[in-house]
Structure 1
Amino acid sequence: MSEHRRIEAILRLGAVPGYGPARTRLMMEQLAATESALEYLPEYEIVDLLELGLDASQAAAFLDYEPNDLADRLLDAGIHLVTMLDANAPRKLLSGPISPWFFVYGDVSALGNESIGFSGSRDASPEAIEATMQIAAAAVDRGWTVISGGARGIDTAAHQGALDRGGATAILLPQGILGWRSAEMPGDGELVIMSEFQPLDGWSSYRAMQRNKSIVHLSDRLVIPQAGVKGGTMNAAEYALKANHPTWVIDLGPEYEGNRLIARKGARILPWANDPTDLDMLVTAEDILRFGQQSLELPLPEST
């Protein structure tokens, strides 16, 4: 019953206009400060909601929303709620500009491991796909969790590379968790599905961009195997670099113009010649800092 009511609280908050991740995080911090539990939120009166920072129209929207059987559907599908208030919450969920809660299918403890995020083209080359799978496998050998977005191309290669090696990989969805239809990903590893959106939300460009930000903040480092000169991967790279997140782009050759542009914007270069030992430079935070201080540059053309 407790989990059902926690989920109902999040569903109701999703119906509140103008109530995004930042305000939800602030509310959860207030609940923690007063030792209140999220599961009691659906029982609050309007005056209690006003004290938590909702205005009158937002409080009315919270109280008027009817989740019907949505919480039951989530629980019946084996989906649970993880929030920053939980003792087992991944450390990166406790702070930062991402959602303080996720709907999760699978064991979220995998996100407590050292991790590596992948962002890349849907229409990736065979070379980029192969590099991605090898890097993901090498990361698993080091005990890292692989995080990506579940799309075709680079994302799927990263997840599959981890599963083939028997490792853990997390798919962050750009839509609601009940609306996603998974592609078959065979392997002996551990697959975790996560969504920070309301369960029936469809795909949108906004949600895809928000999902990419979450991949950045939930990972310890971001690797970009292949990017176009425009699009979601380039946006993710720019966001990660602006946030001073350890960001690496694979050097697959001069014909990969998007990769060259990301390197020009400040990403560190990961040399690649089908040799997983190249990943050694990413093994520890000390290595990240050491390589991040080096001036590693590809022979890039001048801007036009």
Structure 2
Amino acid sequence: MRADADWLRLTLIPGIGGETQRKLLAAFGLPENIFAAGEAALAGVVGAKTARLLADTDNGAAVDAALAWGAQPGQRILTLADADYPQTLLDIPDPPTLLYVRGDVGLLNRPALAVVGSRNATPQGEGNARAFAGALAEAGFVIVSGLALGIDAAAHRGALAAGGATVAVIGTGADRLYPARNQALALEIADRGAIVSEFPLGTPAAAANFPRRNRLISGLARGVLVVEAAVESGSLITARLAGEQGREVFAIPGSIHAPQARGCHRLIRQGAKLVESVADVLDELGGGARPQTLPDAPATRPAGSDAAGRLLDQAGFDPITIDELVGRSGLTADALSVILLQLELDGRVASLPGGRYQRLAE
């Protein structure tokens, strides 16, 4: 374990980022050689200011704390020199010098697919994320996502519910679980999958960390499936990074009226593969055993009652208001409210903010 001390010492010096670390490693090899080199030799590679920082910084307490964390059961620190370091990250331009991992490190070198999307997801979007993640996990893929609310959490849950494996790449220290609403999910992932961070222990949630985190989500995977995304969103950053890293990009189309679908539509226009079923993903990536059941485009549900069945057909799959349903169905608002309440209790319709409703695929 002490062999990791020099790696930690290098990465825990404030002001020396990944680019500088890689430059030093390219010039001197292992971190122990960096610290054994004289200040003049270091200055010739990274400049006098950084060379002095390397020589003068005492971060021994932080190094010892990280070593103690990595010595706990189920916790590992992986360096670029470690055989268990994820090989797919070695293919990206800026692999982390080290990773903090909670859970099964073996999952980081298995075939993986990233599933990402909006934090403000629709019920339909979350359902799609769970269904696709579950089927892809059954097909042998590790599902990678970012532990955020919405699509990310639904993807993790779908993989776990299917008995598959999932990896959460987080934008905080591995000892901090964010957001708080997903802490129970995070603990389940740590127990049955893996949580990965490149950030030092104790790092709080900060906006700048999450775009940086996104390159690892795509880097760990063979492809990225975007379920829902606004035009300006972190999911589109992940998709762009995936393309730059040579990964496949997939997107599920949605309603032309839904803001959460516009990012997916933009990706499709830019060349992402349009996805209607898991078969679309498996046909592109190949490999792995196909699941027996694949989620497809929404199917017409069997009518529980004539009135409910007609109302679902009239509603369609786009979000719709009571007033619009009155116009389509000819029913009164009171009659509609009764039918909608029963459909909501049956899990066939979801209520949305703004007094709208949306039919759910079955």
- TM-score range (shorter-chain normalised) is 0.7 to 0.9
Structure 2 CA distance for partners of 1:77 and 1:101, relative to 1, 3 Å: same
Amino acid in structure 1 at the alignment position of 2:58: Y
Q: Retained in 2: the 8 A contact 1:129–1:154?
A: yes
- The structure 2 residue matched to 1:160, chosen from 157, 160, 182, is 157
Q: Are 2:186 and 1:193 equivalent residues in the alignment?
A: no
Match of 1:90 in 2: 86
The equivalent of 2:254 in structure 1 is 252
Alignment of 1:124-143 (within 5 A): 124-143=121-140
Q: 1:245, CA displacement in angstroms?
A: 2.6
Q: Which residue in 1 is equivalent to 2:212? A: 210
Q: Which residue of 2 aligns with 1:65?
A: 58
1:113 aligns with 2:142: no
| Alignment partners' CA distance in 1, 2:76 and 2:51 | 25
Task: Write the deviation string for residues 7-63 of structure 1: whole angstroms up to 9, x where unpaired.
Answer: 45324433242x32233234444555xxx5x4x468635449718934333233234
Structure 2 counterpart of 1:296: none
Q: Which runs of 5+ in 2 are unaligned?
A: 288-362
The 1:55–1:136 alpha-carbon spacing in structure 2 relative to 1, beyond 3 Å, is same
Distance 1:137 1:7 in 2: 39
Whole-Å Cα distance in 2 between the matches of residues 48 and 190 of structure 1?
48
Alignment correspondent of 2:175: 178
Cα distance between partner residues in 2 of 1:188 and 1:233: 23
User: Pick from 84, 97, 101: which aligns with 1:104?
Assistant: 101
Q: Deviation of residue 137 (structure 1)?
A: 1.2
Change (3 A) 1:7 1:155: farther
Which has the greater radius of gyration? 2
Provide Cα deviations, 1:112-135, integer angstroms capped at 9, x if missing partner.
111101221111111111111111
Which residue does 1:10 correspond to in 2? 8
TM-score of the superposed pair, with normalisation by structure 1:
0.79
| Paired residue secondary structure (2:199) | coil
Identity score, percent: 23
Q: TM-score, normalised by structure 2?
A: 0.67
Letter in 1 for 2:205: W
- Counterpart in 2 of 1:53? 45
What letter matches 1:66 in structure 2?
N
SS in structure 1 at match of 2:175: helix
Could you say if the C-alpha distance between residues 61 and 13 of structure 1 is closer, same or farther in structure 2, counting changes exceeding 3 Å? farther
Give the residue type in structure 2 aligned to 1:268: K
The residue that corresponds to 1:222 in the other structure is 224
Instruction: Provide the aligned C-alpha RMSD in A.
Output: 2.8
The answer to whether the 8 A contact 2:103-2:190 is kept is no
1:140–1:100 distance in 2 versus 1, CA, 3 Å: same
SS of equivalent residue, structure 1 residue 171: strand
The alpha-carbon distance between structure 1 residues 188 and 53, as it changes in their structure 2 partners (threshold 3 A), is closer
Q: Work out which of the residue numbers 230, 233, 252 in structure 1 matches 2:235.
A: 233
Contact residue 84 and residue 93 of structure 1 kept, 8 A = no
- Answer whether contact 1:163 1:188 (CA < 8 A) is retained: no
Please state whether the residue corresponding to 1:170 is helix, strand or coil: strand
| Cα displacement string for residues 94-119 of structure 1 (whole angstroms, at most 9, x for unaligned residues) | 23223232111122221211110122
Question: Secondary structure at 2:69's aligned position in 1?
Answer: helix
